[in-house]
Amino acid sequence: MKKRVYSDGCAAAHALDLVGDRWALPVMREMMLGPRRFSDMRAALPGLSANVLTQRLEELERNSIVQRRKLPPPASVQVYELTPWGLEAEELLKVMGRWAARSPHKEAGPMSPVSIVLSMRTMFCAEQAKDLFLRVGLFFGLETYLAEIRNGTIAVDRGEIDDVDILFSGDHNAFVACLYGKVPLANVADQLAVTGDRKLLERFLSLFPLPPTAPDLSAPR
């Protein structure tokens, strides 16, 4: 069946032709930090069937957004990765994330480690971190991430954890609950281990404020 398109000259409409299908953007999101195996994406997106994932990857590949390659030995496995143009969509995800974070109808739900990292890049408040030098390690399952904060900037990506000021280790959604839900660390102590200076820790958790919620005009008056 031929895919439906908007047939509209607006570039925003064409963007929806390219990535507007269900699951397309979450699939792209999972490759924002580097190449991923098919099984990695299935694990990160548990609501997505193997069939639909295959379809989305094929469509994104046809549209020059994704490419596949085989890793050299000893890995020798096929991976999918965003093309340089595909990687530019991170800005799109950030803008959408900031906008949707204001939704009065947003419901809490699980996040993948990659989506957490991208959300940190998105919600980071440079003004509150002007004089801060901080290295933070995130150890979620088998994946490790390193966040470096320097003079109002943040760099957070996959990386080796060494010589960090703060280390979070354990359930990544418990980390989200503390970072955005303001859940006290003591409440998730059985799911998330934290080491580091307490004052630095509190300062770090304050650097990712969510924008104010938009008015809910659908509520009965």
Select from 101, 83, 97, 106 the least CA-distant residue to 26. Answer: 97
Share of the chain above pLDDT 70, in %: 98
Query: For residue 146, what is the enclosing H or E element?
Result: strand 143-150
| Statement: the pTM of the whole predicted model exceeds 0.85 | yes
Question: How is the beta sheet containing 133-140 ordered, strand by strand?
Answer: 153-158, 143-150, 133-140, 166-170, 192-196
The distance in angstroms from the start CA to the end CA of the chain is 45
Q: Which of 111, 124, 108, 103 is nearest to 207 (CA)?
A: 124
Per-residue burial over 126-156, b = 16 or more CB atoms within 10 Å of its CB, e = otherwise = eeebeebebbbbbbbeeebbbbebeeeebeb
Residues of the chain with pLDDT under 70: 1-2, 219, 221
SS3 labels along 47-103: CCCHHHHHHHHHHHHHCCCEEEEECCCCCCCEEEEECHHHHCCHHHHHHHHHHHCCC
Q: Provide the pLDDT for residue 1.
A: 54
Which tens digit of pLDDT belongs to each residue from 34-55? 999 999 999 999 999 999 999 9
Q: Are 23 and 32 in contact (CB under 8 A)?
A: no
Give the helix/strand (H/E) hosting 148. strand 143-150
